[in-house]
Chains A and B, each alone.
Chain A
């Protein structure tokens, strides 16, 4: 069942490696050019890899709440037809509560991050 996926993974990785090897033969020089990162023509004053201020991190927490909810969503999708209307009500009350949380976060400005 997962054999196809495994073979595809091998093929994909192998293909990418093969492309890199092919490139060694076709490019004007096999070794990469050593260079500074592009900075409009200037030398960087410091390394770019740093503690980046991802100002949208409140949204990641909100996202996490919904993402965990997806754990229930997939099994629910399979059984909703059998269980009937009660499953629909329960799930959407749950989603509704989460959505209220989103609206509250929106009103608090958590979705605005510039």
Chain B
């Protein structure tokens, strides 16, 4: 469509899925290593954590709570991973993309809004007070982060004059958008942590709610929820790399490798951030999101728009 990217046939979809899962596993591995170090063990002892946890949950039975809303529970549980996979459909790997939608940015936005429904459903399904509160907490949190997220990803689109991710990547030849729209980039990174329910935005799955939306899930259900969260974080990082960190642009290495390296690095940074910060309660986050972050992002957008108009004329 846009010419900047090569659209690969749908047969490559499984490869994209595998890459996303591998990145998700990388995130979980980094997290395990950091956790081990925080507990006074050698960081290397935490590397096996994702595999051990997967084996544990594969062996563990599922639970069926009394009068649970099972269809909705299943949708919420399995949906997170599916949404993460759908997000990366528009994210290019170097020069290749699965589908170079002319509205790729909107597509990503739409997928991230689906997470609202899914996390809430995962909280609603088990008919459990803790997870129900967790689900509603996510909605409150979503009200705080969603608008800043939307305006943050509008900024690169304005700068590129296109909603196609390929054009946004192409427009960053020479100068990454993260450099001259840092506020939008940082806000987007925060939003990635928020829609993957990671600290400081982990209240919906908080320790104070016995795990919140996770409180009554076990076995493969729990695995799908956890894997979905890691995959969302990986997909968010991949999208951030495409629209803020220059996608495949970079010296020496091939473009596809640059995409992967940058995504892995950003993901590792986000994991580190999530371990450094305590959870912020949604009710404390909401006024901050609306009164401080939202105006900042709007100002960022104004700056970008003015630069584009002045530079273009």
Main SS at interface, chain B: helix
Closest to B157 in A: A77
* Contact of B283 with A113 in the complex, beta carbons under 8 Å: yes
* Contact of A66 with B147 in the complex, beta carbons under 8 Å: yes
Proximity bits, A45-87, B CB within 8 Å = 1, else 0: 0011110101010011011001100100110011011101101
Tell which of B1, B61, B124 touches A28, judged by Cβ atoms closer than 8 Å.
B61
* Contact of A59 with B14 in the complex, beta carbons under 8 Å: no
Tell which of B17, B105, B150, B287 touches A106, judged by Cβ atoms closer than 8 Å.
B287
- Complex Cα spacing A95 to B41, Å: 51
- Complex Cα spacing A88 to B155, Å: 13
Question: B36 contacts the other chain (Cβ, under 8 Å)?
Answer: no
* Number of interface residues, chain B, beta carbon within 8 A: 78
Proximity bits, A32-50, B CB within 8 Å = 1, else 0: 1111111100001001111
Contacts of A32 in B (CB 8 A): 61-64, 219
Question: B179 contacts the other chain (Cβ, under 8 Å)?
Answer: no
Q: How far is the CB of B228 from chain A (nearest CB, A)?
A: 9
Q: How far is the CB of A111 from chain B (nearest CB, A)?
A: 4
* Contact of B291 with A111 in the complex, beta carbons under 8 Å: yes
Tell which of B65, B88, B89, B101 touches A37, judged by Cβ atoms closer than 8 Å.
B65
Contacts of B130 in A (CB 8 A): 37-39
* Contact of B139 with A15 in the complex, beta carbons under 8 Å: no
Contacts of A8 in B (CB 8 A): 13, 16-17, 85-86, 88-89, 98
Q: How far is the CB of B143 from chain A (nearest CB, A)?
A: 5
Q: How far is the CB of B291 from chain A (nearest CB, A)?
A: 5
Proximity bits, B84-99, A CB within 8 Å = 1, else 0: 0110110000000011
Within 8 A of B (CB), among A85-114: 85, 87-88, 91-92, 95, 99, 102-103, 106, 111-114
Q: How far is the CB of A21 from chain B (nearest CB, A)?
A: 9
- Complex Cα spacing A20 to B82, Å: 14
Q: Which of A13, A17, A74 has the most CB atoms of chain B within a 10 A radius of its CB?
A: A74
Contacts of B89 in A (CB 8 A): 4-5, 8
- Complex Cα spacing A74 to B8, Å: 26
Contacts of A35 in B (CB 8 A): 63-66, 216
Within 8 A of A (CB), among B107-160: 107, 124, 126-132, 136, 139-140, 143, 146-147, 150-151, 154, 157-158
Question: B248 contacts the other chain (Cβ, under 8 Å)?
Answer: no
Within 8 A of A (CB), among B33-63: 58-63
* Contact of A33 with B64 in the complex, beta carbons under 8 Å: yes
* Contact of B103 with A12 in the complex, beta carbons under 8 Å: no
Q: How far is the CB of A22 from chain B (nearest CB, A)?
A: 7
* Contact of A74 with B163 in the complex, beta carbons under 8 Å: yes
- Complex Cα spacing A27 to B10, Å: 34
* Contact of A80 with B62 in the complex, beta carbons under 8 Å: no
- Can you name 12 A-B residue pairings with CB atoms under 8 Å? A7-B10, A8-B17, A8-B98, A9-B86, A13-B78, A22-B58, A37-B127, A37-B130, A37-B216, A44-B129, A80-B309, A111-B287
Interface residues of A (CB under 8 A from B): 1-9, 11-13, 15-17, 19-20, 22-23, 26-29, 31-39, 44, 47-50, 52, 54, 56, 59-60, 62-63, 66-67, 70, 73-74, 77-78, 80-82, 84-85, 87-88, 91-92, 95, 99, 102-103, 106, 111-114
